[in-house]
Amino acid sequence: MPSSTGLRARVRAKLIAEIKDQARRQLADEGAPGISLRAITRSMGMASSAIYRYFPSRDDLLTALIIDAYDSLGEATEATDAACRRDDFGARWTAVGHAIRGWAQAHPHEYGLVYGSPVPGYRAPQDTIGPASRVTLVLAGIVTEASASGALSPPPYPLPPLSTPATAEARRLVEAAFPGVADETALRAVVAWTQLFGMVTFELFGHLEGVIADRSPVFERALLEMGVFVGLPLPGAVNTATIEQEDSERYLI
Amino acid sequence: MPSSTGLRARVRAKLIAEIKDQARRQLADEGAPGISLRAITRSMGMASSAIYRYFPSRDDLLTALIIDAYDSLGEATEATDAACRRDDFGARWTAVGHAIRGWAQAHPHEYGLVYGSPVPGYRAPQDTIGPASRVTLVLAGIVTEASASGALSPPPYPLPPLSTPATAEARRLVEAAFPGVADETALRAVVAWTQLFGMVTFELFGHLEGVIADRSPVFERALLEMGVFVGLPLPGAVNTATIEQEDSERYLI
DNA sequence: TGTACATCAGTGAACGCGCGTTCACTGATGTAC
DNA sequence: TGTACATCAGTGAACGCGCGTTCACTGATGTAC
């Protein structure tokens, strides 16, 4: 039994996994610049040159860690969204926000690796783009589906109309990730997206130290505010028409 | 003429400045982990041990750079705010937002040094707290002064009341930085603050690549949205009562 | 089924480099009387 | 004003360490006929 599931291939996969695990351990201890190929091989009891059978260079190992991190976050986010009632858009938004923050707190150094200062001299290859956008697409999907099902409220207060270049950008966004969504709403979704990651980043990188002591309720409130800001209904506020087609018990007030 | 303005002291100050300049150059080229004391002394044509006359360790040099960065950003922000009409709170918010983004783009690596992933193994000493909060206090000041002068609009749409722990945090915030401001508003200011830095960070660290092409108008819109979100008037929308006491020409529509 | 050959994993030595920090020392600049 | 002494800036060698990557090589695992 050779092929890609053969013994050799399985051993190889195991070793690659172990190398990445050791690298993640070093990432946690010393940060990205502290990841050392020699230290990895040392901890695995192999010659320092042996690692080149698995990763052609240090940068390739870094890339693998980055892709893994994005995929891990993307997967957690997608799973959280998938576990929500489809038409409870407010609840989906809130749940996904908590999932992102939860993942960041559970994997602070991997979060720093992808959302922190770019590693100098390292240029992310194309392969990272797909994994990187998974989490973003989940957020965009919630807004888009809410819009399609008519659950989105229009902005409750008047704002000046979009400038011409802002409209152009909004159009691009709508076409790329928010089909059928209003220009203003797409831009607001971007604002909410940056707020969400901005707050998680500030919390993780220590910029809320001395500013906010009990961060969970503040984060919770921010999620609620930004959800409403985008036009999403409050969590639990499900469109009655939809309810009647499904189980109705627990959603009737 | 000895004292602290003596020749020796002046030469010393010059050298300290040159060391920091060289360090900043390396920061731009190689990132924070690439700052090397030996390389600095090499580029200045002095023995590698000489730098210890000026900085007792690499960490102390890092701390100096961090404090300088915070102070530079703080100063730019304060100056921008000071140049605005005091009662045009919307304009102050927008101008300060642009100033922060502008500084970040002019000093991307210093921005990364203070707002990027924490340097592993480095613990920021107390001395950084004051400089770090300058920019924050400017933003808080705008909201607080707007509130005091009655220019803040209440939230235009109903939201659930604050949870008990969120209220507690809001109270702490109000006491520390937003005297006289409503609980909800203080929390919204924090949300706007994290949005502002979140967007600047995303832009600088490459997370808007492929998402937003023309970032300035989107940032401009985000500033406007978040200003209104906090309750600030639109830029240029100045309280008429105040106008009458000052020059009225250009503010009458 | 058995043999010959190709592929792959892993070794160990070496290249060429860099780093932060310490220490005993020299010589110049400032200070006190 | 001039001299004796203390302070400070800067040197150069050394300590002890680490790193990524290459290369010729051995031995085991798989493949083809």
pLDDT single digits (tens) B184-210? 999 999 999 999 999 999 999 999 999
Q: Compute CA distances B176 → B133, B144, B146, B181, B236, whole Å.
A: 12, 11, 17, 11, 29
pLDDT above 90 (res A243): no
What integer pLDDT is reported at residue B249 of this predicted model? Answer: 40
Mean pLDDT over B131-141 rounds to 98
Q: Measure the CA–CA gap between A24 and A250, rounded to whole angstroms.
A: 44
Q: Which of B214, B53, B160, B38 is nearest to A217 (CA)?
A: B160
Per the CB < 8 Å rule, is B33 touching A33?
yes
Are B54 and B41 in contact by the 8 Å Cβ rule? The answer is no
What integer pLDDT is reported at residue A237 of this predicted model? Answer: 85
- Measured at the CA of B95, the angle between CA B109 and CA A157, to 5 degrees, comes to 120
Mean pLDDT over A242-252 rounds to 41
The domain limits of chain B are 1-56, 68-252
Q: Is the overall model pTM greater than 0.85, yes or no? A: yes
Are A73 and A31 in contact by the 8 Å Cβ rule? The answer is no
The amino acid occupying position A176 is A
What integer pLDDT is reported at residue A105 of this predicted model? Answer: 98
pLDDT above 80 (res B156): no
DSSP state of B228: H
Give the model's confidence band at B154: pLDDT under 50 very low, under 70 low, under 90 confident, else very high: confident
Structure tokens of B22? 């060289």
| Cβ neighbours for A188, distance < 8 A, ≥ 6 positions apart | A155, A229, A230, A231, B225
Structure tokens of B152? 């803040």
Higher pLDDT, B157 or B92: B92
What integer pLDDT is reported at residue A240 of this predicted model? Answer: 53
Chain A 178-207, CB below 8 Å of chain B: which residues?
Answer: 187-188, 190-191, 194-199, 201-202, 205-207
pLDDT above 50 (res B97): yes
The amino acid occupying position B189 is A
Q: Is the CB of A52 under 7 A from strand D?
A: yes
Instruction: Give B27-57 as a DSSP string.
Output: HHHH-GGG--HHHHHHHHTS-GGGGGGT-SS
Helices (H), B31-55: 37-44
Are A156 and B156 in contact by the 8 Å Cβ rule? The answer is yes
Q: Compute CA distances B25 → A125, B10, B101, B109, B161, whole Å.
A: 26, 23, 21, 9, 50
CATH 1.10.1040.10 correct for B68-252: no
A157 contacts chain B (CB < 8 A): yes
Structure tokens of B121? 């193994």
Domain covering B1-56: architecture: Orthogonal Bundle (1.10)
Per the CB < 8 Å rule, is A160 touching B224?
yes
Q: Measure the CA–CA gap between A1 and A23, rounded to whole angstroms.
A: 31
What integer pLDDT is reported at residue A28 of this predicted model? Answer: 93
Higher pLDDT, A7 or B35: B35
- Measured at the CA of A24, the angle between CA A23 and CA A27, to 5 degrees, comes to 90
- What share of chain B in percent tops pLDDT 90? 83
Q: Measure the CA–CA gap between A73 and A3, rounded to whole angstroms.
A: 31
Task: Please report residues of B whose CB lies closer than 8 A to that of A233.
Answer: none
